[in-house]
Structure 1
Amino acid sequence: MLIYFILLVIYIIILLLVSLGFILIETHKNVNDDIENNYRPRTLVMIPCRGVDYSLEENLKSIINQDYPDYHAVTIVDSPDDPACSIINKLKIDCIVSDFQCGKCSGKVRALCTAIEKYPDYEVYVIADSDILVSSQWLKYLIMPLGIDNAGISTTFPYFKPVGGFWSRVKEVWGFVGMGLMEAKLTRFGWGGSLAFKKSLLNNYFDYFCSNISDDTALTKIAKDKNLDLYYVKRAMPVVNSPENFEQFFEWANRQTALSIAASKKIFYYGILFYFSYMFLFFSAIFAGIFYNKLFLLFLIPEILYILNMIRRLNKVSPENVIAAILMPFIYTVNLFMANRMKNITWRGRVYNIKNKKLL
């Protein structure tokens, strides 16, 4: 009986420590870094395009109609025959063909390096994915933090708006983890769908940047190497219309996770520790609460806080969102294991070897 009692006490102490850790994570966040100043530098907005994204015409219209005094938008395509060109030409947006010479870079990085090389006289460069839909204030909000001396990157994170079935709802909730990571300075990263940086960031690092598969992980590493700050601007948040089905969602989620793990293996180990702890706490609360003592149900508080934070970000709640939130630790764990085994990813119709970081 004594051994049983000691084991029970140890078990409860572990549950308490894990629970308190998750409560601290859910309740202590730096929501954003909205900055107000008069910093309005000459800016180039670079929009790599490959194929026709969902709502592409609406997306491009939003990017080129900004309340900002001195900016130029340029699209970059692999070929003048790209299907996106008909919409680009219709909107009369400048377009260049990607021709930067790099052996290991992705098509997106090649496009960005092409634009930077052909438009060298800008103080600030902005990356805008072709699948984002933005407000007219997006560019101004995104750039203002760069007026601070120690700023390296100004970035945001999207709201994945579901325009499909259940799995587009899952992607909506999946994206909230990215928002949560952005809200804490310790886990913040540059998101390449909407990211601004000064040209000086690439001083002595241009060749390094142009040899990478992932633009955002490279820029994040450069900023950290230079001891510069990463700013998260929530009010610059774009919308990404997401029509994914089950197969499309998992292909996307595994690819995003694989790119993160390729940038740092620690992400896999931290992720496994985090989500296994979360599931341990969740199942302990359910089973011990039902079969031993209802007080164990109090260990569901972190899950409740997570759902409440999701509702805060959504400003609404639906049964699909709650189900997706409950499933999310299991989905992320599957993503981590599958992504960790991946040697290649398919991105915009191309296959990349993420172990050797080259195009196949």
Structure 2
Amino acid sequence: MNSPITAFATAFVILQFVKIVVPALLTSFRITRNRRRHREPFEPKATVIVPCKGSEPGLEDNIRAFLNQEYRDYSLLFVTESGSDAAYAIIKRIISQHSRPARMIVAGLAKECGQKAHNLCAAVQSVEQDAEVLVFADSDAHPRSSWLAELCAPLSDPAVGATTGFRWYIPIASNFWSILLSSWNAQGLVMLHERSLFAWGGSMAVRTEDFRRLGIERIWRTALSDDLSLSKAIRGSGLKITFVPQCLVATYADLNMRQVLEFTTRQISITRFYRRDMWWQVVAAHSLYTAVFWGGLAVAVSEIPSATFDGRLIIPLAAIMTLSACHLWSRLALAIHCLPEDYSANLIRTRLAFVSTGPLVTLVYLYNIVVSCMTRRITWRGIVYEMVSPSEIKVIRPSNPAE
């Protein structure tokens, strides 16, 4: 009775192997084999802008990592919403103890755009005139010492408009939901390559000239998403966005179910407004996976009591799980190679739990997709936003500066 379902599941296994697993394995093999990519030296004067909010886990270590980059000439701008923000005093103290040129900026409350975009606009206005490259990073990210040099190097190619790294979540207490979030996030690596679909705002760089010419600051003044709006402008100009795997950055995660679902849904909701093409790719991939794997599993379980049960459907379902694990394993190998060595032990300790979460991750994505179709409101860092269009948002509830 389930022969057509078995055939369809088998076809999906082949598709998954050819389109997802093989490219992922080849990419990870190529990067880990060539431990140091040989690039022509390119270290233009750079300004690193880091928006900050609150005292996050690992904040002090992260700030010191940004201050200790192996790069010839760069300065840093740290920006907070208010001087009473918990991060302000911490960062002020650290930069006062360091010789690297760094400043603190207070941006004030956002009224017509996302608070992060507002903070970035305030910082951009303070960039030195001779800065050739603008680099944007998140305060909860921990980069390796070569991060800045690796991120800027591809910009020597005029065809490259922006470079990007990506985050990798490190579960603090190895709890289930943090591991699931790490796996969920790792799926985004599928869209990152030599011609990436987007740049991630926690680790991205752009030439100052292109930033000004494309009017990114003007775009940000009415935008919620800094990175997706920048990505759209870069790609719209005919330039490409290049993923630099060595610029993966570590971010601690210690979240419960509500926090994971809120975060993941926010990401998908923002994607739906700014990059509908990417959103549809997510819809297609995870809807198909859910239908084949979970639908096939339901059929197989329902037929177990039947006298006609032959178990053939179990084979492609097991293959789907195995290929999902191989895909996640390749991403994990990439992270272990590219992240600072301090995080390797944590990643290795949770590797079995991580690679087994593939089928559950797709259910989270399905939940994200459904909710993203039902609401235009999201909560981000204590602020509620209503997304009217990619160029218009409403700030429903201003954040508490003391938060």
Instruction: Return the TM-score normalized by structure 2.
Output: 0.80
For residues 294 and 8 of structure 1, the distance between their equivalents in structure 2, rounded to whole angstroms, comes to: 8
What displacement does 1:270 show?
3.1
Q: 1:132 maps to which residue?
A: 141
In structure 2, give the amino acid aligned to 1:105.
C
Residues 49/283 of structure 1: CA separation in 2 closer, same or farther (3 Å cut):
closer
Q: 1:357 maps to which residue?
A: 393
Question: Could you list the per-position Cα deviations for residues 219-273 of structure 1 after superposition, in whole angstroms to 9, with x for gaps in the alignment?
Answer: 1101111111111111111100111122221111111111111113344443232
Question: Could you list the per-position Cα deviations for residues 295-332 of structure 1 after superposition, in whole angstroms to 9, with x for gaps in the alignment?
Answer: 65135434312211212332446453244223111111
Residues 60 and 130 in structure 1, CA contact (< 8 A), matched pair in contact too = yes
Residues 51 and 83 in structure 1, CA contact (< 8 A), matched pair in contact too = yes
Q: 1:224 maps to which residue?
A: 235
Question: Could you list the per-position Cα deviations for residues 266-297 of structure 1 after superposition, in whole angstroms to 9, with x for gaps in the alignment?
Answer: 44443232212112221465445963442651
For residues 295 and 108 of structure 1, the distance between their equivalents in structure 2, rounded to whole angstroms, comes to: 49
1:98 is aligned, of 107, 110, 122, to: 107
In structure 2, give the amino acid aligned to 1:21.
L
Q: 1:172 maps to which residue?
A: 182
Residues 35 and 141 in structure 1, CA contact (< 8 A), matched pair in contact too = no
Question: Could you list the per-position Cα deviations for residues 111-169 of structure 1 after superposition, in whole angstroms to 9, with x for gaps in the alignment?
Answer: 11111122152110011101001111110111101111100110011110000321111
Q: 1:254 maps to which residue?
A: 265
For residues 111 and 35 of structure 1, the distance between their equivalents in structure 2, rounded to whole angstroms, comes to: 35
Question: Could you list the per-position Cα deviations for residues 191-227 of structure 1 after superposition, in whole angstroms to 9, with x for gaps in the alignment?
Answer: 0111101112221423123321101001110111111
SS of the equivalent of 1:131 reads coil
Q: 1:116 maps to which residue?
A: 124
- Listed as ranges, the matches of 1:260-279 within 5 Å are 260-279=271-290
Residues 329 and 355 in structure 2, CA contact (< 8 A), matched pair in contact too = no
Q: 1:156 maps to which residue?
A: 165
Residues 325/169 of structure 1: CA separation in 2 closer, same or farther (3 Å cut):
same
Residues 49 and 77 in structure 2, CA contact (< 8 A), matched pair in contact too = yes
Q: 2:91 maps to which residue?
A: 88
For residues 135 and 171 of structure 2, the distance between their equivalents in structure 1, rounded to whole angstroms, comes to: 26
Instruction: Return the TM-score normalized by structure 1.
Output: 0.89
- Listed as ranges, the matches of 1:183-222 within 5 Å are 183=193, 185=195, 188-202=197-211, 203-206=213-216, 207-222=218-233
| Mean CA deviation greater in 223-232 or 11-20 | 11-20
| Residue correspondences, number | 352
1:75 is aligned, of 71, 74, 78, to: 78
| Mean CA deviation greater in 296-305 or 190-199 | 296-305
Residues 183/31 of structure 1: CA separation in 2 closer, same or farther (3 Å cut):
farther
| Mean CA deviation greater in 47-56 or 287-296 | 287-296
Q: 1:333 maps to which residue?
A: 366
| Mean CA deviation greater in 198-207 or 58-67 | 198-207
For residues 281 and 310 of structure 1, the distance between their equivalents in structure 2, rounded to whole angstroms, comes to: 19
Residues 16 and 323 in structure 2, CA contact (< 8 A), matched pair in contact too = no
Q: 1:243 maps to which residue?
A: 254
Residues 6 and 312 in structure 2, CA contact (< 8 A), matched pair in contact too = no
What displacement does 1:178 show?
1.2
| Mean CA deviation greater in 251-260 or 312-321 | 312-321
Q: Does 1:58 align with 2:58?
A: no
Residues 285 and 299 in structure 1, CA contact (< 8 A), matched pair in contact too = yes
What displacement does 1:96 show?
1.1
Alignment gaps of 5+ in structure 2:
32-36, 96-101, 334-347, 397-403
What displacement does 1:103 show?
4.9
Q: Does 1:107 align with 2:115?
A: yes
What displacement does 1:65 show?
0.7
